[in-house]
């Protein structure tokens, strides 16, 4: 029986404060509800936070992925490569543009795609007489993928790199003694962000694409608004101030001023939110130290400062234990925590195993790292509003049930 007196602890939750509410009210009372000055200010805040030259805010993270794939030139018959441990949108975006998807294996200790698996997928493409059009490394749980390694492979093949940074706003990684920010596009052609309520900052629903390429930036701006331009320098004729032209087939993926007013307010708190997430993660780490025979937090790669969108632990496999048994114990842990009103989640169901992908001839790869990760992973509560007592409650419940 669930104890009704306990405070529910979800795996993630937004933090909305009075100044956020005030910012939205000001937007509602302004002359602009959509496509006004708040959009531009939010984009400028994203550029400042990531270090990318350009940011294009859109209606959600999936729209950001779709437009990035289109801007990268993905069309009918092209191939995109991504991790199988991600939300389905990372792969669906390639399909929206007409392409097919190949899936990489992951290191189950980090949940990030392996370069060895990426090399295998590239080799498979070469044997089929194709080269990948895009590679989409996924920054899982808040930790950037090996972006320099992915970029090296991409440059050899001619593919563009789209960093799926939906989990990693505020994260950093070091290369050769230099520190880079997630979504800076230092090692990618584009990056995408998500502002769903459980992310680091929220606009309710929303997303963005960052890039340092002016040509990609202009194309993304066109694509989010039906492919329409009013730029006098690009118009084929001049009929009057009202005149516009559609130069390509685009979409209505615009975000509103009301959403961006919230996003702009939230961005002022990004550093504080990430700092609290890291403090929560450190408390979890300390509590689970020495418990590796029962439960193992994900390993963060050297040089990476995770932004901890998620805090994932893996149920440790016993000597000789089959994955089906590990998965059964993970399910039992999930249910035991729910009885204590601690609501965990599994991130993610492997995309390559989804029936729709198999039905369309994708997802045939053998991915043992993915299988091992999925059988054992569980996302514990992680959001800035958690108290230390909340963290301790989760730890006690996990160690009492695993």
What is the C-alpha to C-alpha distance for residues 183 and 245, in angstroms, rounded to an integer? 32
Pair (248, 337) in one structural domain: no
Q: What is the mean pLDDT of the chain?
A: 97
DSSP codes joined into one string, 187-240: SSSEEEEE--TTSSS--SS-EEEEES-HHHHHHHHHHTBTTEE--TTT-SS---
Closest CA to 201 of 356, 46, 354, 40: 46
Q: Report yes or no on 50 lying in a domain.
A: yes
pLDDT for 319-345, tens place per residue? 999 999 999 999 999 999 999 999 999
Closest CA to 59 of 246, 204, 218, 213: 204
Pair (29, 89) in one structural domain: yes
Q: Report yes or no on 293 lying in a domain.
A: yes
pLDDT for 117-162, tens place per residue? 999 999 999 999 999 999 999 999 999 999 999 999 999 999 999 9
Over residues 51-72, mean pLDDT: 98
Residue pair 39/257 in contact (Cβ under 8 Å)? The answer is yes
pLDDT for 209-247, tens place per residue? 999 999 999 999 999 999 999 999 999 999 999 999 999
What is the reported pLDDT for 2?
59
Residue where a domain terminates, one of 205, 239, 267:
267
Q: Report yes or no on 287 lying in a domain.
A: yes
What is the reported pLDDT for 136?
99
Q: Determine phi and psi for 259, rounding to 5 degrees.
A: -65, -45
Pair (254, 313) in one structural domain: no
What is the reported pLDDT for 5?
82
Q: Report yes or no on 11 lying in a domain.
A: no
Residue where a domain terminates, one of 220, 249, 267:
267
Pair (262, 309) in one structural domain: no
Q: What is the dihedral of CA 165, 314, 273, 275, to 10 degrees?
A: -110
Q: Report yes or no on 59 lying in a domain.
A: yes
Residue pair 395/23 in contact (Cβ under 8 Å)? The answer is no
CATH number at residue 196: 3.40.640.10
Pair (238, 277) in one structural domain: no
Give the CA distances from residue 156 to residues 78, 120, 163, 172, 387, in Å, rounded to whole numbers and listed in that order: 17, 14, 17, 25, 48
The terminus-to-terminus CA distance of the chain in angstroms comes to 19
Closest CA to 307 of 182, 187, 196: 182
Band (359; pLDDT cuts 50, 70, 90): very high
What is the reported pLDDT for 3?
66
**Residue whose pair of structure tokens reads 């990609």 in the numeric block:** 216
Domain boundaries, position 249: 18-267
Compute and round to an integer the Cα radius of gyration of the chain: 22
Residue pair 174/168 in contact (Cβ under 8 Å)? The answer is no
Residue where a domain terminates, one of 243, 267, 291:
267
pLDDT of 27 above 70: yes
CATH number at residue 359: 3.90.1150.10
Q: Is 38 exposed, middle or buried (0-12, 13-18, 19+ CB in 10 A)?
A: buried
**Residue whose pair of structure tokens reads 């990531």 in the numeric block:** 50
Q: Report yes or no on 214 lying in a domain.
A: yes
What is the reported pLDDT for 1?
55
Pair (259, 279) in one structural domain: no
Residue pair 225/58 in contact (Cβ under 8 Å)? The answer is no
Pair (289, 162) in one structural domain: no
Share of the chain above pLDDT 70, in %: 99
Instruction: Tell me how many domains the chain contains.
Output: 2
Q: What is the DSSP letter of 59?
A: S
Closest CA to 211 of 392, 58, 394: 58
Pair (178, 236) in one structural domain: yes
Pair (164, 285) in one structural domain: no
3-state secondary structure of 262: helix
Q: Report yes or no on 377 lying in a domain.
A: yes
Q: Report yes or no on 245 lying in a domain.
A: yes
Q: Which residues of 284-299 are buried (b: 16+ CB within 10 A; e: fewer)?
A: beebbeebeebbbbbe
pLDDT for 282-311, tens place per residue? 999 999 999 999 999 999 999 999 999 999
Task: Report the relative pairing of strands 134-136 and 79-83 from DSSP bridges.
Answer: parallel
Pair (279, 219) in one structural domain: no
Pair (123, 168) in one structural domain: yes
Write out 138-163 in H/E/C secondary structure. Answer: ECCCCCCCCHHHHHHHHHHHCCEEEE
Pair (208, 105) in one structural domain: yes
């Amino acid at each position: 029986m669930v104890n009704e007196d306990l405070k529910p602890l979800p795996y993630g939750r937004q933090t909305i404060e009075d100044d956020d509410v005030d910012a939205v009210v000001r937007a509602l009372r302004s002359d602009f509800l959509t496509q006004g000055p708040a959009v531009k200010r939010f984009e400028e805040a994203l550029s400042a936070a990531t270090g990318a030259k350009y940011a294009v805010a859109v209606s959600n993270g999936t729209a950001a992925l779709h437009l990035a794939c289109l801007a990268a030139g993905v069309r009918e018959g092209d191939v995109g490569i991504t991790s199988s441990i991600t939300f389905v949108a990372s792969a669906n975006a390639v399909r929206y543009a007409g392409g097919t998807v190949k899936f990489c294996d992951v290191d189950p200790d980090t949940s990030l795609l392996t370069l060895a698996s990426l090399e295998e997928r590239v080799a498979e493409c070469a044997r089929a007489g194709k080269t990948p059009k895009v590679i989409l490394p996924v920054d899982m749980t808040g930790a950037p993928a090996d972006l320099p390694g992915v970029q090296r492979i991409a440059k050899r093949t001619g593919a563009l790199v789209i960093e799926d940074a939906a989990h990693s706003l505020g994260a950093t990684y070091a290369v050769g003694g230099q520190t880079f920010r997630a979504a800076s596009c230092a090692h990618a052609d584009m990056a995408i962000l998500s502002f769903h309520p459980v992310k680091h900052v929220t606009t309710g629903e929303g997303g963005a694409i960052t890039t340092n390429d002016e040509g990609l930036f202009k194309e993304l701006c066109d694509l989010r608004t039906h492919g329409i331009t009013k730029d006098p320098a690009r118009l084929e004729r001049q009929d009057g101030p009202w005149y516009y032209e559609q130069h390509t087939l685009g979409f209505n993926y615009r975000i509103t001023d009301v959403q961006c007013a919230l996003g702009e307010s939230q961005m002022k708190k990004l550093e504080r939110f990430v700092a609290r997430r890291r403090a929560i993660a450190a408390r979890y780490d300390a509590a689970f130290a020495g418990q590796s025979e029962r439960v193992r937090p994900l390993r963060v790669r050297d040089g990476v400062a995770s932004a901890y969108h998620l805090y994932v632990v893996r149920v440790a496999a016993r000597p000789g234990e089959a994955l089906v048994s590990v998965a059964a114990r993970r399910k039992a842990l999930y249910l035991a925590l729910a009885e204590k009103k601690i609501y965990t989640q599994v991130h993610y169901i492997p995309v390559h195993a989804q029936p729709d992908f198999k039905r369309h001839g994708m997802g045939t790869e053998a991915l043992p790292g993915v299988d091992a990760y999925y059988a054992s992973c569980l996302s514990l509560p992680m959001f800035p509003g958690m108290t230390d007592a909340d963290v301790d409650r989760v730890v006690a419940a996990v160690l009492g049930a695993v």
